Chain A
Amino acid sequence: MSNKKRTNEFFNSKRKIFKPLDLIIAGLVLFSAIFIAIYYFGIFNQTSLVAVISINGKETQKINLSDVKAPYKITVNGELDVELLIEKDGVTFVSSPCPDKVCIHTGKIKYANQSAVCLPAKVSVSLIKNNQNKNDIDAVVGWNKWIYE
């Protein structure tokens, strides 16, 4: 390690704040984020999610989303009547007579432990994971390996 060389290199540093190649690094990081987001949430979509519909805190209905072949609408009669759209990949509040429409603005809930609530109607929908099967655990171990490599 010659200190002299290092000092020279340092004092004559030609490094710029930004060079076009930086975009490649940013692009790779972005790509990895998107790739893992798609892949990872893809795994979760394969595990069957169960939509739990509760009225006033009491569970009234459970729908296994992987059994849903075609999207359909159901009406939940809470304090107010709200309409839910049940799809294979998520649940959406489609209509509600409540004034604030927070539940509708929540949009489609797709992932485990997400929930949407309509307070005036006292209706809440949350997604929970079905019991993990062997397939999922394999996938998880695969991820672990991938990280440590």
Chain B
Amino acid sequence: MDLRIRNNTNNLANTALLASAAIVLSSIEMMIPDIPFMLPGMKLGLSNIVIMYALETVSLGSTISIAIVKAVFALLTRGATAGAMSLLGGILSVFAMWALITIFRNKFGYIGIGILGAFFHNIGQIIIAIAIMGIAVFWYFPIIALSSIATGTITGIVVGITLPKITLSMKFSQKNADI
């Protein structure tokens, strides 16, 4: 019982930490100036890194709450459209990645998970865009799908390199807690 309580506290702390990291990453992303050949709305999706972390280390529920926190942040800083896009995209991508991880376990690498997450994030965004601006926005889809391959690869590589190191530090803190 003691273990369970401690683990829940651990989860809570990790979730809060990761949520704040997601917010920081998405605000850093907002500062990156528009690159000429990128169309408006194309983003690097840095906060997807955090979402993947949370899925791997905490739980599905925590990850969804992080996605919601992120959407609220987008709502407050960039308006209702951005908030709705972030919410639907975030939740779709969380479920897609979760399904991939739970069904196939270790068969896919981080790059594959990252690409799938970015792709579903874009699908969520484009659904909102179509609901607001009409079907004409759909011509964006191929471009945005291609960009999700690139951004998903980047996030996948970042997660793959950094996650084992974070894991080590978490292990360390848990050991300390045991003593």
* Chain A 25-53: CB-based contact to B (< 8 A → 1; otherwise 0): 11001101110110011000000000000
Q: Is the pair A29, B161 in contact by a Cβ cutoff of 8 Å?
A: no
Interface residues of B in 137-152 (CB under 8 A from A): 138-139, 141-143, 145-146, 148-149, 152
Q: Roughly how many angstroms separate A32 CA and B148 CA in the complex, as a whole number?
A: 12
Please tell me the size bucket of the interface on A: 20 to 34
A30: B residues at CB distance < 8 A: 145-146, 149
Q: Of all chain B residues, which has the CB nearest A141?
A: B135
Q: Is the pair A18, B109 in contact by a Cβ cutoff of 8 Å?
A: yes
Contact of A25 among B4, B57, B115, B135 (CB under 8 A): B115
* A-B contacts, CB under 8 A, total: 109
Q: Is the pair A147, B106 in contact by a Cβ cutoff of 8 Å?
A: no
Interface residues of B in 1-47 (CB under 8 A from A): 3-4, 7-8, 11
Q: Is the pair A11, B109 in contact by a Cβ cutoff of 8 Å?
A: no
- For the complex, is A7 an interface residue (Cβ under 8 Å from B)? yes
Q: Roughly how many angstroms separate A4 CA and B2 CA in the complex, as a whole number?
A: 12
Contact of A19 with B112 at beta-carbon distance under 8 Å, contacts A29-B145, A36-B141 already known: yes
B17 to chain A, nearest CB (A): 15
